[in-house]
Amino acid sequence: MALLHGLLWRFLLVLVHVNRALVSWLRVRLRNWKGRLWERAMAALLLPLALAGFPDHQKKLHPNPTNAHSVTGNRSASRRSRWLSDGRSLEKLPVHIGLLVAEEEPSYTDIANLVVWCMAVGISYVSVYDNHGIFQKNNSRMLEEIIRQKQVLLGIDVSKHNVEFLNNGSDTHQHQVVSFRPTVKVLSPEDGKQSIVHAAQQLCRSVENKERSSKDISVSMLDILLRESKNIPDPELVVKFGPVDSTLGFLPWHIRLTEFISLPSHKNVSYEELLGALQRYGTCQQRIGQ
């Protein structure tokens, strides 16, 4: 009898443990089921709100190209208007400006920016010069960079800023220089002393061929020959970039009355620095012949 009671007691204990395990399993399942049900319910409530805000988010990520072009165009127009206004506000503006780079490893982009800014304020002639003739040897790259920066800085409407790019040996006859069309000339030391030598040789040959007499050889005649070869006015202002205190052979015949202003470097140069140089030129007094 005692053995039967013992077996029955153990059987009841097993049932209790099984019941507890079953209750625990049901609780876990119910909790998981409620969690998934809650998640689905929240997703169903939040999905319409997410879909409603999605187009606005997409517009931020992918703005309307038309609006972007419009904003860019307005910004470019504003810059053009400001630069033109700055040019008109100066006491005097050079007709011809020279950009003399006295630094190693010249930057095409920075020089192109300077050329475009000079055009934008109303300067008609821009000469670019470096002592090693790097820009002149790569004048096609220089022209491409000027055109590219013209598009970047001035925008799409650049009809008033067409560039006439003069190459060596083709200044006259092939290119007619007009005042409303900005002209860019890339120079090297060969255009300085060598041009004087060539003009003197031409004058001597004309005397030898009896086209002129020896009495015609004069400074004024040499000056006429040099101006015919360049077909551009003398630079009123040269902005020199770099630490070297020298003109480095920049058109020695044409800079007798030129004002020189130095800036530390042409690399990363700003429009404000160029404008400051133009303002300094505008206030300087040139006592010619006094």
List pLDDT tens digits, range 86-143.
999 998 999 999 999 999 889 999 999 999 999 999 999 999 999 899 999 998 999 8
Q: Write down the pLDDT at residue 124.
A: 92
Q: Write down the pLDDT at residue 285.
A: 77
Q: Which residues of the chain have pLDDT under 70?
A: 1-5, 9, 11-73, 156-181, 227-231, 286-290
Instruction: State how far the Cα of 260 lies from the Cα of 239, in Å rounded to an integer.
Output: 6
DSSP assigned state of 127: E
Q: Write down the pLDDT at residue 256.
A: 85
Question: Domains of the chain: which residue ranges?
Answer: 66-283
Q: What is the CATH number of domain 66-283?
A: 3.40.1180.10
Give just the sign of the alpha carbon dihedral 170, 175, 176, 179: negative
This model's pTM is above 0.75 = no
Q: Write down the pLDDT at residue 101.
A: 96
